[in-house]
Structure 1
């Protein structure tokens, strides 16, 4: 459905550190760096998640991003990485049966206050 997503950041360096740390267990890395814009991709090498410097001014509104993990253990690894980084953890890893059986996720805030989720559907 979606081809790619771009998130604008107040502090691109802080956002890069956060996303590189919490998404590395998913195999997602920065593979394009244009200075004020970063492209991140998984194993296919195609950047589908972009970070850019906020330039339009004004207060940003919170968004919710969810990334897929292939297993519950990877969700747990992301949780530990977020804690080590000092990120605010909104919900520790647990099953959310109200979404569907096997929905196991952790929720945290990025440096811009966005709600970032990593979920396994196993």
Structure 2
């Protein structure tokens, strides 16, 4: 099941304002924003409803729009029911030729139980498996 989707934008401030206005009529709002001090590279904003962001925008790393090791042009996260499945996805994806983009682990800056792993597919898209359940 798809948990969330992310896209890279070239002008973060303009895109953030666009999505805030465009999504408001359907009940989506900006629920989270993280800066480079958290992400390590760029600003990101998560939009959604009922406290869960499921549409993310990320500013492009300087000089890069797709296929770098931090962000790809498309990001899709697949929700799984256990941390063991996150680890199994990661191992299988690497064995299938994917490239590491973040090993299995807690990403507490999203929430305390966020356990995810990231791989880049053959085209450089960032594919994630995530479990939100505690242990």
Superposition TM-score, scaled by structure 1 size: 0.49
Superposition TM-score, scaled by structure 2 size: 0.45
